[in-house]
Amino acid sequence: MTKPLLKISGLKKSFPYIENNRDRMRGMWATLRGRVNDGGHVVLNGIDFTINRGESLAIVGKNGAGKSTLLKIISGVLQPTEGVVQVNGSIGALLELGSGFDPEYTGYENLKMAAALAGIKDNLIDKLNRMVQFADIGDYLHEPVKTYSSGMVVRLGFSVITETRPDLLITDEILAVGDEAFQIKCLAWVDNYLKTGGTLLLVSHSMYHIQTICKHALWLEKGTVKLQGDAHKVSKAYQHEILGQLEKLQYHQDVNTYHVAGVQILVAGEVVTDNKIKMGQSFDISVKIFTPDGLKPGLSMGIAEYDDRGIYGTYSSEYQCQPQWLDDHHVVFNIKVLKNPLLPGEYRLKLHTMTPDQLQMVDTFLIELRVEGKTREMGYCRIETEWS
């Protein structure tokens, strides 16, 4: 029976409370004696999961859920307080910018050191040249790493991974750093890496990357596993909870400022309570706005993917649109979306109240928008075309 590449059993990690020098000395003494300090703040508790060769697992969760700590334990940077971490293969980790590089050495010197530490001997020059080509940082290659921008450091670090090709690649939001062209290059490499038998463990807040790259996902909340399974289902559940919390916060606005006080989605005049609409179906957006001074505010409306990649945006001023009064302190904008061009998927409708002079955004109101339908078209929206 083939052993899993990574197996986590009963993992717990806690950090001792350090309030004074006595606590520091006690912690240092325990470390020197090889003892585990199981008191203090518990960051991870009862974590169990397995990754087999060729699989891709995403880890999602809010900031402080324990994601980065888990990756550091798996990569050997930290030791667990309790539990077992079994790794049956090589690990390559991209966790923190510049980790493993000597800031006083040049980029090329750091590449040579990385190759030596990885045990690369055969075709060394060719592999170094490919690293240099992948990093594509120009003359900075011969400058000290301490002069690099964060994006350049990422380029250098990822180029090492492309030639060492570890059995398990661990990355923490690293694919979201750097310019768009380099992100595309990295994603293409990761896709090929997985197709050729590589294994990926990814922490990301980008639902787009999680759903397109990973097959499985694990949702961490307050150091415990809340849900794990299919990447699409787990990421959607996580999105819905986050969005639900955002919606609950929307109405607690300052009564002294302009703000969105309510939003309704309507189809054929009927309110859609679950915010589900069909591809190609016209629908209306009714936006109620509070005004504290009797002046009419403006409105900005946008549609974005769940990872906040913008798809479309516009302003009421572009249409010379004035809202209608509901009462002394509320106005309403009605926006009709004709023949909804969005392809099936999950989106975020973003509404921003504008000051009456149309120069400043005052607030942000987010609402889920789910488009249903069946099509083999790709992307976010349908463009009318004629084929002959």
The Cα 146–Cα 28 span in angstroms is: 31
For residues 29-49, average pLDDT: 74
Residue 291 and residue 329 in contact, taking contact as beta carbons nearer than 8 Å: yes
Q: What is the pLDDT of residues 59-101, one digit of tens each?
A: 999 888 999 899 889 988 888 988 999 999 988 887 765 667 8
* 104 pLDDT above the threshold of 70: yes
Q: Residue 120: left (phi > 0), alpha (psi -120 to 50), or beta?
A: beta
The Cα 222–Cα 374 span in angstroms is: 37
Longest dimension (CA), the chain: 81
Please give the structure tokens belonging to residue 222.
Answer: 């307050």
The Cα 297–Cα 362 span in angstroms is: 10
For residues 290-318, average pLDDT: 88
User: Identical fold at 1-90+200-250 and 253-372?
Assistant: no
Q: Where are the alpha helices (DSSP H) in 75-123?
A: 107-117
Confidence of residue 36 (pLDDT cuts 50, 70, 90): low
**Alpha-carbon dihedral angle through residues 36, 38, 39, 44, given to the nearest 10 degrees:** 120
Please give the structure tokens belonging to residue 50.
Answer: 């397995």
Q: What residue has token string 């974590």?
A: 47
pLDDT for res 335: 94
Burial 337-354 (b: 16+ CB within 10 A, else e): beebbbbebbbbbbbbbb
Candidate CATH numbers 3.10.20.30, 3.40.50.10440, 2.70.50.60, 3.40.50.620; the one for domain 253-372? 2.70.50.60
pLDDT for res 53: 93
Q: Which carries the bigger pLDDT value, residue 207 or residue 142? A: 142
Residue 361 DSSP class: B
Please give the structure tokens belonging to residue 360.
Answer: 């400043």
pLDDT for res 9: 94
Q: What pTM value is reported for the model? A: 0.62
Residue 378 DSSP class: -
Q: What residue has token string 């120069």?
A: 359
DSSP E strand stretches across the chain: 6-15, 41-51, 56-60, 82-87, 91-94, 168-172, 199-203, 216-221, 224-230, 259-267, 270-271, 276-278, 283-290, 298-305, 310-315, 324-327, 330-337, 345-354, 365-372
Q: What is the pLDDT of residues 153-191, one digit of tens each?
A: 888 888 888 888 889 998 876 665 566 678 778 888 888
Please report, for the chain, the start and end positions of each structural domain, with discontinuous segments joined by +. 1-90+200-250, 253-372
The Cα 240–Cα 227 span in angstroms is: 13
Q: Residue 89: left (phi > 0), alpha (psi -120 to 50), or beta?
A: left
Specify burial of residue 105 (Cβ count, 10 A radius: 0-12, 13-18, 19+).
middle
Share of the chain above pLDDT 70, in %: 87
Q: How many CA atoms lie within 13 A of 248 on its CB side?
A: 6
pLDDT for res 254: 62
CATH 3.40.640.10 matches 1-90+200-250: no
Residue 336 and residue 358 in contact, taking contact as beta carbons nearer than 8 Å: no
Residue 67 and residue 203 in contact, taking contact as beta carbons nearer than 8 Å: yes
Q: What is the pLDDT of residues 256-283, one digit of tens each?
A: 788 998 899 999 999 998 889 999 999 9
